[in-house]
Structure 1
Amino acid sequence: MKPSQLIPIIRRLDAMREDQSDEVQVRRFERNGQEKCIVRYDNKSNMFELEDRTTEQTYEFDNIDYVAVEILELVQPATSTEE
């Protein structure tokens, strides 16, 4: 069984939430060296903002699980033949 791909994503998002600075935290997520999305976390509003780099659309999330799933959908290969 392959390890979960969500765990490293959630760890990165958790690190954003745990940062105590007043600055908006930013993380970039890539697949094969190509940027797929940018995630920003505002500690004041407790909101994640995901910018989809393929469609140039921005989405807001107040739930870490939802943003993690969106990131996973963007960075995982379109078709997986691995078992």
Structure 2
Amino acid sequence: MEEGILMESSQLIAIISRLDAMIKNENQEIQTRRFEKDGKEKGIVSFDPETQTFVLEELPDKQKFEFDNIDLAAIEVYDLLND
């Protein structure tokens, strides 16, 4: 790597760590995280510990997508933030 060039930290790792924190939360309530880009809210992710599923609500069109896999949920959030 050339000196002076800094590698940007992975946006995908940051997304996965936020989703993973929802899974590891001890209480059995639905967890919610908001995802923004440039100060604009792009989506809301909810995790239901009872069903072990993530629901991504894309804003502003309010489309909802359900995932039972953290990787698929993270990729969809990543795509939403980089659209």
SS at match of 1:40: strand
Name 1:10's counterpart in structure 2. Answer: 16
Name 1:53's counterpart in structure 2. Answer: 59
* Structure 2 runs not aligned, ≥5 long: 1-6
CA distance in 2, matches of 1:73, 1:23: 27
Among 71, 74, 77, the residue aligned to 2:80: 74
Amino acid at match of 1:16: M
Superposition misfits of 4+ residues, deviation over 6 angstroms: none
RMSD: 1.1
SS at match of 1:72: helix
| TM-score scaled by length of structure 1 | 0.87
| TM-score scaled by length of structure 2 | 0.87
CA distance in 2, matches of 1:70, 1:54: 16
SS at match of 1:36: strand
**Structure 1 vs Structure 2: percent identity of aligned residues?**
48
